[in-house]
Amino acid sequence: PFVLRLLQSGREVAVPADRSALACLQDAGVDIESSCEVGVCGTCLTRVRGGEADHRDSYLTTAERAGCFLPCVSRARTLVLEIDL
Ligand code: FES
């Protein structure tokens, strides 16, 4: 489990082990686009500003992974992941 800190709105959204970050954001009413929901299309791309993502997609290159993540499949290595939403 980890917490998403939404820097634009100042909100925090908890992500339990059995749910995706995308699902938790959508449940919280955050406006985020998605399509494949399996980490292959890039639609849900979200900027990461702090913390470290645990990348589980098959879309981003290693270089691209530096500043963003795909919340439909990816998670966090840190307790808090700060994102640009
Ligand atoms: Fe396709 Fe997340 S919705 S990569």
ipTM here: 0.99
Q: Which atom of ligand 1 sits closest to the CA of residue 41?
A: 1
Classified as helix, coil or strand, 27 is: helix
Q: What is the pLDDT of residues 18-32, one digit of tens each?
A: 999 999 999 999 999
Instruction: Give ligand 1 pocket residues (Cβ under 6 A).
Output: 34-37, 39-44, 57, 59, 70, 72
**Cα 59 from Cα 17, distance rounded (Å):** 22
Q: Whose Cα sits closest to atom 4 in ligand 1?
A: 39
Tell me the per-residue pLDDT of 36-72, one tens digit each, with 9 for 90 and over.
999 999 999 999 999 999 999 999 999 999 999 999 9
Are the beta carbons of 52 and 18 closer than 8 angstroms?
no
Q: What is the DSSP letter of 24?
A: H
Task: Determine how β-strand 46-50 pairs with β-strand 80-83.
Answer: antiparallel
Beta strand pairing status for 80-83 and 2-6?
parallel
> Atom of ligand 1 at shortest distance to CA of 42?
4
